[in-house]
Amino acid sequence: MCICRKLFVTFALMKKLTIYHNPRCSKSRKALETLTEKGCELEVVEYLKTPLTKKLLKSLLMKLNMKPLEVVRTNEELFKKKFANKKFTDDEWIQILIENPVLLQRPIVASEYKAEIMRD
């Protein structure tokens, strides 16, 4: 069983989940489909339409146990053009992610105390 499937099973046992979703992303669509099939109570946040606040992004990073740079999509053209080979602080990366939500890894599924990036 791949790690995503194990995490889906774990999350399926939780009461309420929030998925930070990009409907144009196949992994995000698959995660939403799987969680829906499992009967999870879901809040779907299309983070490209409803950008994350600094407070929410910091909370997600704590739940993920990750640094801001670890959730950046470094393969995105925007990253390559504007941010590659540059040094930023964690707070600067948080601001960059807020201003450029396309750079955020996806999908992120969060419960009250834990979050995971649902990718293989």
| Active centre residues (catalytic) | 25
Beta strands in 22-93 (DSSP E): 41-46
User: What single DSSP character describes residue 71?
Assistant: G
Taking the C-alpha atoms of residue 91 and residue 18, their distance in angstroms, rounded to an integer, is 24
Type of residue found at 25 = C
CB 74 within 8 A of CB 81: no
Taking the C-alpha atoms of residue 52 and residue 67, their distance in angstroms, rounded to an integer, is 16
